[in-house]
Structure 1
């Protein structure tokens, strides 16, 4: 009998304001070993799109369905995953701005993130990454992201605490005793 095990990985992603601008992601197992560490330059792309591109590249690099803890210093990425994605999907990739539905920024990349959620279970955490020393995980604020349409869990979008936690505002604070090597 073969039992399929869903791996749990940390996906650290960030944009690097350099010349040319770069995106960077690191996939780590729970022991803190780097599985994949990728950086690439994208000329003509910067800011929020570059931050989101780091996430997309990381999600698309994962070879099998996985439970992911996405760690990003980007408020744009974290809030999009936690609060926007489900509404945007329901509203055909638009959001309400001053009473009018307008297209969201970077809809093509958000749709790629949404497609990845059909395969992966995502949680979101905020943590600063240093481009010099690499990612570390000590104490992260973690929140789960509702799955995309077409996945097994069709529950409505809502924030759910991850693991043993105590409530802190809208997110759950979870102690994760994992440290990455540089």
Structure 2
């Protein structure tokens, strides 16, 4: 299973969106969504892999691609320390987005996930698709605000 994710925000903070492309062999699925309430780009970057992993119905081996160093570094190195410190940073401040980090940790625990970073907006086809889905989520979230 391969998963490509991205998040977007219109203003930071502002309305946000997330997108994911899931691929298993010749099968593909696109997911996206948005939040009309004020959110941040980092929250949307975290939401994309959470929602993609939560969609999987059975434990899977996953190669997950993100253009967010925040997400990749957080899940692969920072989270262990945060958890052991009671979700506080080394400066004893609450970890930002701890609710989503904990949800991501739970989603990852069901699977064997290998994390990969890809450069955003560099022409990587699946990353570009995930970006378009995230922007679609932002657009729909913004429309909900005005209707």
TM over 0.5: yes
| Stretches of 4+ aligned residues off by more than 3 angstroms | 17-20
Question: Does 1:103 pair with 2:98?
Answer: no
Q: 1:85 aligns with which of 50, 55, 79?
A: 79
User: Distance between the aligned counterparts of 2:57 and 2:6, measured in 1?
Assistant: 21
What displacement does 1:55 show?
1.5
User: Distance between the aligned counterparts of 2:120 and 2:32, measured in 1?
Assistant: 14
Q: 2:108 aligns with which of 117, 121, 130?
A: 117
Secondary structure of the corresponding residue to residue 110 of structure 2: coil
Taking only aligned residues, the RMSD between alpha carbons, in angstroms, comes to 2.2
What displacement does 1:93 show?
1.4
Q: Which has the higher contact order (CA 8 A, sep 6+)?
A: 2
Cα gap change, 1:39 to 1:133, in 2 (>3 Å): farther
Normalising by structure 1, we get a TM-score of 0.60
Unaligned runs of 5+ in 2: 128-147
Question: Does 1:24 pair with 2:19?
Answer: yes
Number of paired residues?
122
Report which of the two has the higher share of helix: 2
Unaligned runs of 5+ in 1: 1-8, 137-182
Q: Find the structure with the greater CA-based Rg.
A: 1
